[in-house]
Amino acid sequence: MPPAAIIEPAELDCDNVLYDRDRIYELLPQRHEFSQLDAIIHIDKDANKFAAIRDIKPDEWWCRGHMPQQAIFPGVLMVEAAAQLSAFTQKIVYADHQGVMGFGGISDAKFRDSVYPPSRILLVAEVIDKRMRRYTCAVQAFVEGRMAFEGEIKGIALNL
């Protein structure tokens, strides 16, 4: 049985784009194929909760080789998208910090559903530890209202 949703997917307005791809990657260093977020759609700094969208297209670079008979969005890219949402939350929480959160680890990861292109993933994060040097977010990913992934992303401060 999956845990309770950090934010219920039905409560999110996917048309409410607060940060588009270009604005997200003004804050984050990832580029090209590793830009894994399409939009930030929810920011609640008081509750430490955030949400983003990742649209999965059938012609992405990994589709040809990751289960070619029926492409499945790789779990490692789902983790990367969740890590980028976590790094984004750090940039909002610590707006004056010039560094960026690097991937420090993952715990309690569970994959609960496969993601097939084309589809839209809703990613949600709740900041659970705001220490600058060891930042942690609980994360979940939903497809068509079903939880596809959950875990905790741990970040470490990088000075790039």
Among 32, 42, 66, 97, which one carries the catalytic annotation?
66
Is 32 assigned a catalytic role? no
Burial of 57 (0-12, 13-18, 19+ CB in 10 A): exposed
Catalytic residue annotation? 66
